[in-house]
Structure 1
Amino acid sequence: MYTGFLHLHNTLRWLILLIALVSLLKYFMGWFSQKKWGKSDNILGIIFTAAMDLQLLTGLVLYFFLSPITSAAFQNFGAAMKNADLRFYAVEHFLMMLIAVVLVHIGRSKSKKASHSRKKFGLSLVFFGIAYIIMLAAIPWSRVIA
């Protein structure tokens, strides 16, 4: 079960990074060209937010129930904080990704409430962009490349 969830979590990562990149490019072009916010812009934000939520759910299942890494960290949290790998998964990855999910939700909410298209694009671009940077920083690249 652990392996299945880990594969799902890893696959969703690439899908989310792609959706985020497409969203950021579309929102940047919309903001820069002063286009009108359209239905496709709204749907893209919904898809990105939903994908992030699904990723959060799979991550939480791994974190609290299935991962031998976090299980080891929870056995002796003080010792885990002295181990860079355990600390990364037990604290850093978890918190940074949670912050990214919150930023995506804030960006989505603020863009829905904005009255002008340029502001919708700008808010989405800022919040999704910061979330994207945080996600890139929180990905365990050593495991991805190895």
Structure 2
Amino acid sequence: MYNSLLFVHSWLRWIILALALIVIIKAFIGWFGNKDYSKGDNALSASFVGTLHLQALIGLILYVFLSPITQSAFQNFGGAMKDAALRYWAVEHILAMLVGVIIAQIGRSRSKKAVEAVKKHKTTAIFYLIALIVILSRVPFNEAGRLFR
């Protein structure tokens, strides 16, 4: 179960990255090009945030129930804070990812409430870009073996 969820969690990041880039680029084009906010824009936005939620759910299941790394950290949390690798997985990764998901959700909620199309695009562009930066800051890109499980 652990390896299967870890595999899905690892590959889902690439779908999220692709969706993020598409949504953010389209939002900037809509914002600066003064374009209408279409049903397609809304669907892409919902897909991006929905996929983030799925990724967060899988990550939380891994974090709380299945990961031997976090289980080890939970046994001696004070000691884990002194170990950079354990601290990364026990605190930094999960915290940054949850903050990124929350920022994206706030952006989605605010863009849905906006009346003007340009405001929808602007809100989407800003919040999703910030969320992407936060998320990318804690993806383990430096560990090549984790990129394509």
Q: Please say whether Structure 1 and Structure 2 have the same fold, judged by a TM-score greater than 0.5.
A: yes
CA-to-aligned-CA distance 1:2-48 (integer Å, 9 cap, x gap): 11010000011111011001100111111111001110010011000
Q: What is the number of equivalent residue pairs in this alignment?
A: 145
Kindly state the Cα deviation for residue 95 of structure 1 after the two structures are TM-superposed.
0.5
| SS of alignment partner, residue 129 of structure 1 | helix
Deviant stretches of 4+, over 3 Å: none
Alignment of 1:68-87 (within 5 A): 68-87=68-87
Alignment of 1:128-139 (within 5 A): 128-139=128-139
Whether 1:34 aligns to 2:59 is no
| SS of alignment partner, residue 139 of structure 1 | coil
Query: What is the alpha-carbon distance in structure 2 between the residues aligned to residue 50 and residue 71 of structure 1?
Result: 28
Q: Which residue does the alignment assign to 2:63?
A: 63
**TM-score, normalization by structure 2:** 0.95
**TM-score, normalization by structure 1:** 0.97
| SS of alignment partner, residue 140 of structure 1 | coil
Query: What is the alpha-carbon distance in structure 1 between the residues aligned to residue 85 and residue 4 of structure 2?
Result: 22
Kindly state the Cα deviation for residue 142 of structure 1 after the two structures are TM-superposed.
2.3
Q: Which residue does the alignment assign to 1:13?
A: 13
Query: What is the alpha-carbon distance in structure 2 between the residues aligned to residue 62 and residue 104 of structure 1?
Result: 22
Q: Which residue does the alignment assign to 1:94?
A: 94
| SS of alignment partner, residue 141 of structure 1 | coil
Q: Which residue does the alignment assign to 2:50?
A: 50
Query: What is the alpha-carbon distance in structure 2 between the residues aligned to residue 138 and residue 119 of structure 1?
Result: 29
Query: What is the alpha-carbon distance in structure 2 between the residues aligned to residue 82 and residue 21 of structure 1?
Result: 36
Q: Which residue does the alignment assign to 2:123?
A: 123
Kindly state the Cα deviation for residue 141 of structure 1 after the two structures are TM-superposed.
1.4
Unpaired segments ≥5 residues, structure 2 = none
CA RMSD, Structure 1 to Structure 2 (Å): 0.7
Query: What is the alpha-carbon distance in structure 2 between the residues aligned to residue 26 and residue 43 of structure 1?
Result: 12
Give me the identity figure in percent: 49
Query: What is the alpha-carbon distance in structure 1 between the residues aligned to residue 63 and residue 4 of structure 2?
Result: 14
Query: What is the alpha-carbon distance in structure 2 between the residues aligned to residue 40 and residue 12 of structure 1?
Result: 21
